[in-house]
Amino acid sequence: MSDFGDLARWTADRVAAYRASLPDRPVAPLVDPGHLRANLGGDLPDAGTAAAEVVKQLATAVEPALVATAGPRFFGFVVGGALESATAADMLAAGWDQIAFNFTTSPAAAIVEDIAGGWLKDLFGIPASASFGLVTGGQVGNNVALAAARHAVLAGAGWDVEERGLMGAPQVRVVAGEERHATIDRALRLLGLGTAAIEPVPSGPNGAIDPAALAGILAGGPKCPTIVCLQAGNVNTGACDDLVAGCKAARRHGAWVHVDGAFGLWAAASPATRHLVEGIELADSWSVDGHKWLNVPYDSGYAFCAHPEAHRASMAFNAAYLTGHGDGAQRAPADFVPESSRRARGFATWAALRELGKDGVAELVDRCCGHARRLAGELAKLDGVQIGNRVELNQVLVDFGSDDRTELVIRAVQQEGTFWAGGTTWRGRRYMRLSVSNYSTKDNDVDRTVDSIRRAAAAAG
Ligand X SMILES: *Cc1c(COP(=O)(O)O)cnc(C)c1O
Cβ 458 vs Cβ 424: under 8 Å:
no
Q: How far is the CB of 119 from ligand X (least distance, A)?
A: 20
Considering the complex, what minimum distance in angstroms separates the CB of residue 243 from ligand X? 14
Which of 289, 335, 392, 399 is the binder for ligand X (CB under 6 A)?
289
Q: Which of 11, 102, 106, 139 binds ligand X (CB under 6 A)?
A: 139
| Apex 148 CA angle, 321 and 193, nearest 5 | 110
* Position with the least CB separation from ligand X: 138
Residue 413 found at the interface with ligand X (CB under 6 A):
no
Q: Does residue 262 bind ligand X (CB under 6 A)?
A: yes
**DSSP letter (8 states) at residue 170:** P
**113/385 with CB nearer ligand X:** 113
**What values do phi and psi take at 74, rounded to 5?**
-100, 105
Tally the C-alpha atoms within 13 A of residue 113's C-alpha that lie toward its C-beta.
34
Nearest 5°: phi and psi at 434?
-110, 130
Choose one: 2-10, 35-43, 60-68, 134-142; the region binding ligand X (CB under 6 A): 134-142
DSSP output for 405-420:
HHHHHHHHHHHH-SSB
Nearest approach, Cβ of residue 436 and ligand X (Å): 14
137 touching ligand X, by CB under 6 A: yes
Torsion from C-alpha of 386, 388, 391, 396, nearest 10 degrees = -80
Minimum Å distance from CB 367 to ligand X? 19
Choice from 263, 293, 302, 350 touching ligand X (CB under 6 A): 263
Report, in Å, the least distance between residue 227 CB and ligand X. Answer: 16
Which of helix, strand or coil describes residue 310?
A: helix
With binding defined as CB under 6 A, does residue 301 bind ligand X?
yes
Cβ closest to ligand X, residue 242 vs residue 450:
242
Q: Does 418 bind ligand X (CB under 6 A)?
A: no
Judged by CB under 6 A, which of 105, 183, 203, 349 binds ligand X? 183
Q: Which of 193, 235, 243, 265 binds ligand X (CB under 6 A)?
A: 235
The span of 257-265, 316-324, 352-360, 410-418 binding ligand X (CB under 6 A) equals 257-265
Q: In what order do the strands lie in the sheet with 301-305?
A: 131-135, 301-305, 285-289, 256-260, 226-231, 173-177, 198-201
Torsion of CA 283, 101, 341, 183, to 10 degrees: 10
Does 233 sit near ligand X (CB under 6 A)? yes
Segment near ligand X (CB under 6 A); pick from 18-26, 86-94, 137-145, 302-310: 137-145
Neighbouring C-beta atoms of residue 200, cutoff 10 Å: 15
Return the residue of 210, 260, 284, 335 that touches ligand X, per CB under 6 A: 260
Q: What is the x/- site pattern for ligand X, positions 78-107, by CB under 6 A?
A: x-----------------------------
Question: Who's near 243: CB < 8 A, 6+ residues apart?
Answer: 230, 232, 259, 277, 278, 279, 280, 282, 283
Helices and strands (H and E) in the chain: how many? 14, 11
Q: Residue 291 CB, nearest distance to ligand X (Å)? A: 6
> Could you tell me which of 212, 229, 231, 233 has the C-alpha nearest to residue 389?
233
Pairing of strands 386-387, 395-399: antiparallel
Can you give the binding site for ligand X, defined by CB under 6 A?
A: 78, 137-139, 181, 183, 231, 233, 235, 260, 262-263, 289, 301
